[in-house]
Structure 1
Amino acid sequence: MDAFQGVIKFVDPYILGVLISLGIGLIIGLEREYDKLKEEKGIAGIRTFPIVTILGFSLGILTKTFTVWLLIIGLGAFILFLASNHFSQKQEEYGHGLTTNLALIATFVLGTMVSSQFYRDAVATAVIIVTLLSLKTRFRSVISNITSEELFAFIKFSIIALLILPFLPNKTYGADKLINPFEIGSIVVIVSFLNFIGYFLVKFVGSKRGIILTAILGGLISSTAVAWNYASRSKEFPELSKKYSAGIIIASAIMFPRLALLAYIFNTDILKYLAIPFGILTIVCVIATLILMRRDDNKPDTKIKLGNPLNILNAIGFGFIYVIILFAVFYSNQFFGESGLYYSALIAGLADTDAITISMSKFSLDGENLQLASSVIIAATISNMLVKLIITLFKGSTSAKKIIGCAFGSVILIGIIYILLN
């Protein structure tokens, strides 16, 4: 930043603006030139975009001396020129896509931003535009692989996050002021968003890319789902029991940093209390995975069935679970003290660790119960690890049962010892 300020100080402001405008135009123009050569069509490239940026910059500078109408008329004339060029019959050989025209208009506007000395903002915006332009092929590939169910899930998520959530009342209700509709809706949206990310990572990165990688990405959504799928497959393919066991373990390892992130979102102070125990438990799982994993061959049966990326009933159900746990935590602490919180955590961990993690993070917002809250969260993870161990014992191969029994048994024991020592 100091170096940049030094450049501004020793370079004439107009020349500096021209150079920045030139750079912005070259950044976008280079991508458009490459796209034009690749598709053998296009109307603007590495020369046109810098000229347009400098044009926008120059008009922006002139408005300071004359009138702002000069810029307004200039931009309007430029848009009309592009429109007439776009619909001209002579341009059929160049194609009729709108992307390049919109990029030219955006480049003109970036030039005007530079004239108002929004240097960093203009450059950052240019980088974002270039990124969007260069990802065209990847976007098309992704969209072509999206199912109608996934598209509707995205639409439903957008409706919940953008249309319903903002209108929920941000007020507390009930005798103990525990119910806040906006707060509950926000939690549902945040958890659903994290699940969305995990779902599409599994779909487009992890699917059929190997047992371990798929398990790691699957753990971002549900390590229990990974355990359910991989335990069954270890019985179907006993020769791959070690690899499927490693997948179950590493998916569970992902659970710890995922919950740490979730806790941090709702209470930044609790992270320092979770960092050491979650770090130890993660390392134990990673070491066990490395011992088991020698070579993870790509297999056609590594795909994890994680269901719909956003099931409305599941989202609403999570909201109800969170409310129930919210009341359970409050009244358990009121009537039974610390022991009541641990009972709530053990029960909650059997079904879901997200809700109890969020609840305890908010419970300790006053800063007085951070150690207790972190121990309760660890107790919930121990309960969840026990569930996955039981799943493996019922559905897994003999080898998988022994491996998961040793690994998860160690994690559960370490977690219990840590809680007792604190």
Structure 2
Amino acid sequence: MIASAWFGLSVSLGIGLLIGLERERSKGGGAGRRPAGIRTFTLVSLLGAVAVHLGGRIFLALVMVGVMVLTALSYSRDRGDDPGLTTEMGLLVTPLLGGLAMSDASLAAGLGAAVAVIFAVKEALHSFVTRVLTAGEVTDGLIFAVATLIVWPQLPDRYLGPFQALNPHSLWFLVILIMAIGAGGHAAARGLGARFGLPIAGLASGFVSSTATVGAMAGRAKRASANLDAAVAGAMFSTVATFVQIAFLLTAVSRPTLLLLAPALLAGGGFAALYAGGFALRKAGAGGKAEIEPGRAFNIAGALGLAAMIAMMLVGAAALRDWLGEAGVTVGAAVAGFADAHSPTISIASLVASGKMVPAAAVMPILVAVTSNTMSKLVVAASIGSRAFVLRIVPGIVGATVAAWLAVSMTV
């Protein structure tokens, strides 16, 4: 018991020294010197630990009241030119961490280190928030937080609706997944700059809509021929994203179906990646400069639209499966694939997961959806892009689809 008390007191001492060390370096000097430094934070942390050791939570509450009063008096008398409350908040957190060290030393130590890091990276955080992040990116971050932390936990995790085809919890998870992948690609493009920006942007946006990405890249190449190779790479990387996202979706919904489709996904995605990489390296080697327009971290409308399409396809595929059997699912997948390959994939995989279809029967409809989606990409590229863009993109998109079919035919 005595050894445990000494250990907790030692951890509280370390917490106070760690936080106080950073505050001592930041408090300045002269007339504008802030009052709280290494000694104050160390004593406050020890005070919290001793209070818990002597009287438990009641003593700690009394100590917190005293610290709050002294902190408020100090802030009112010596605010200086900085109206911030960071140091004052630190003075309130530190005795709590000191008290926590008496019962959970590891948790208190970790939180103390986190507080010290937050203090230390003040300038970097301020610069990142005010100079690096755009208003749209901040808004997207808030949207993502609401979608993940508030909306998702409230949705029921069971099959509902017509034909018992819809699981709101799973559908919203897909929305979160699409937003997260898009934000990751956006961050990579911002971090790496314009040289590889178009290929990375193409890969990221391909997780939302590869067909739309092909159209956007075709428009870029037509407006600026210097970006032709980078635009082709971006369009092809969006096709890579199609195969990757199908793999992600099948992993989350139906792993048996993923195992059967793995050779096709590897062959199609691998071909597309090699084809895209060739154009990306040509662009980098030529010293060209692809221009990246400022944008949002992700397309919330696109994510919601995809979720809505998935929901409709789930109901439609379930209805066709009920009315026409396996043939109805294939027809529905072909029609839906013209708009997007992801929605028929998730709807068919959901049928497998719910026991309404065996995994082997899902392979053909998913590949049919990929094929019809390939046709949509070709139509979009031909209607928007230049002749040079079309001549470069057609072999890659068609080749990836053919490679997927060949891989399946060789494993059957």
TM-score computed with the length of structure 1 as normaliser: 0.77
Aligned-residue Cα RMSD (Å) equals: 3.9
| Equivalent-residue separation in structure 2 for 1:255 and 1:29 (angstroms) | 51
Please name the residue that 2:313 is paired with.
Answer: 325
Q: CA deviation at 1:85?
A: 1.4
Q: CA deviation at 1:389?
A: 2.9
| Equivalent-residue separation in structure 1 for 2:252 and 2:353 (angstroms) | 12
Q: AA paired with 2:53?
A: I
Please name the residue that 1:3 is paired with.
Answer: none
Checking the alignment, whether the CA contact within 8 Å between 2:162 and 2:315 is kept in structure 1 is no
Please name the residue that 2:4 is paired with.
Answer: 13
Checking the alignment, whether the CA contact within 8 Å between 2:144 and 2:176 is kept in structure 1 is no
Please name the residue that 2:231 is paired with.
Answer: 244
Residue 402 of structure 1 pairs with residue 407 of structure 2: no
Q: State the Cα deviation string for residues 156-205 of structure 1 (Å, max 9, x = none).
A: 6666666666666667555633355x447635642564366257537744
Checking the alignment, whether the CA contact within 8 Å between 2:137 and 2:296 is kept in structure 1 is no
Please name the residue that 1:364 is paired with.
Answer: 352
DSSP 3-state at the match of 2:60: helix
**Cα 1:168–1:14, aligned 2, differ >3 Å: closer, same or farther?**
closer
**Cα 1:295–1:122, aligned 2, differ >3 Å: closer, same or farther?**
farther
> Identity percentage over the alignment?
23
Checking the alignment, whether the CA contact within 8 Å between 1:194 and 1:221 is kept in structure 2 is no
Residue 56 of structure 1 pairs with residue 43 of structure 2: no
Please name the residue that 1:197 is paired with.
Answer: 183
| Equivalent-residue separation in structure 2 for 1:15 and 1:374 (angstroms) | 64
Q: State the Cα deviation string for residues 94-130 of structure 1 (Å, max 9, x = none).
A: x2311222233233322222211x2343344345445
Checking the alignment, whether the CA contact within 8 Å between 1:207 and 1:214 is kept in structure 2 is no
Checking the alignment, whether the CA contact within 8 Å between 1:60 and 1:115 is kept in structure 2 is yes
Q: CA deviation at 1:348?
A: 1.9
DSSP 3-state at the match of 1:92: coil
DSSP 3-state at the match of 1:176: helix
Superposition map of 1:13-92 within 5 A: 13-25=4-16, 27-29=18-20, 31-32=22-23, 36=27, 42-45=34-37, 48-63=40-55, 67-88=56-77, 90-92=78-80
| Equivalent-residue separation in structure 2 for 1:123 and 1:271 (angstroms) | 43
Single out whichever of 329-338 and 200-209 deviates more from structure 2.
200-209
Q: AA paired with 1:58?
A: V
| Equivalent-residue separation in structure 2 for 1:269 and 1:302 (angstroms) | 40
Single out whichever of 264-273 and 226-235 deviates more from structure 2.
264-273
2:334 to 346, 349, 373: 346
| Equivalent-residue separation in structure 1 for 2:364 and 2:223 (angstroms) | 38
1:303 to 293, 301, 315: 293
Checking the alignment, whether the CA contact within 8 Å between 1:208 and 1:298 is kept in structure 2 is no
Checking the alignment, whether the CA contact within 8 Å between 2:148 and 2:176 is kept in structure 1 is no
Please name the residue that 1:223 is paired with.
Answer: 210
**Cα 1:414–1:196, aligned 2, differ >3 Å: closer, same or farther?**
closer
| Equivalent-residue separation in structure 2 for 1:378 and 1:22 (angstroms) | 63
Checking the alignment, whether the CA contact within 8 Å between 1:325 and 1:355 is kept in structure 2 is yes
Checking the alignment, whether the CA contact within 8 Å between 1:230 and 1:244 is kept in structure 2 is yes
**Cα 1:364–1:202, aligned 2, differ >3 Å: closer, same or farther?**
same
| Equivalent-residue separation in structure 2 for 1:281 and 1:15 (angstroms) | 62
Q: State the Cα deviation string for residues 21-73 of structure 1 (Å, max 9, x = none).
A: 344445545554565569x965545555444434333332333xxx4311111
Superposition map of 1:360-399 within 5 A: 360-366=348-354, 369-373=358-362, 376-399=365-388
Q: AA paired with 1:303?
A: E
| Equivalent-residue separation in structure 2 for 1:340 and 1:298 (angstroms) | 49
Q: State the Cα deviation string for residues 259-281 of structure 1 (Å, max 9, x = none).
A: 33333334455554454433333
| Equivalent-residue separation in structure 2 for 1:43 and 1:383 (angstroms) | 69
**Cα 1:385–1:50, aligned 2, differ >3 Å: closer, same or farther?**
farther
Checking the alignment, whether the CA contact within 8 Å between 1:225 and 1:306 is kept in structure 2 is no
Please name the residue that 1:5 is paired with.
Answer: none
Equivalences, count: 403
2:92 to 75, 91, 105: 105
| Equivalent-residue separation in structure 2 for 1:201 and 1:96 (angstroms) | 32
Checking the alignment, whether the CA contact within 8 Å between 2:371 and 2:401 is kept in structure 1 is yes
| Equivalent-residue separation in structure 1 for 2:398 and 2:256 (angstroms) | 30
Please name the residue that 2:343 is paired with.
Answer: 355
Superposition map of 1:404-419 within 5 A: 404-419=393-408
Please name the residue that 1:290 is paired with.
Answer: 277
Q: AA paired with 1:355?
A: S
Q: AA paired with 1:347?
A: V
**Cα 1:206–1:176, aligned 2, differ >3 Å: closer, same or farther?**
same
TM-score computed with the length of structure 2 as normaliser: 0.79
| Equivalent-residue separation in structure 1 for 2:200 and 2:157 (angstroms) | 41
Please name the residue that 1:6 is paired with.
Answer: none
Q: CA deviation at 1:412?
A: 0.7
DSSP 3-state at the match of 1:343: helix
**Cα 1:76–1:242, aligned 2, differ >3 Å: closer, same or farther?**
same
Checking the alignment, whether the CA contact within 8 Å between 1:207 and 1:304 is kept in structure 2 is no
Q: CA deviation at 1:238?
A: 3.2
Q: AA paired with 2:7?
A: L
Q: AA paired with 1:186?
A: W
Checking the alignment, whether the CA contact within 8 Å between 2:337 and 2:344 is kept in structure 1 is yes
DSSP 3-state at the match of 2:299: coil
Q: State the Cα deviation string for residues 267-318 of structure 1 (Å, max 9, x = none).
A: 455554454433333322222223221353573633376798333xx66644
| Equivalent-residue separation in structure 2 for 1:228 and 1:108 (angstroms) | 58
Superposition map of 1:70-149 within 5 A: 70-88=59-77, 90-92=78-80, 95-116=82-103, 118-130=104-116, 132-133=118-119, 134=121, 137-138=124-125, 140-143=127-130
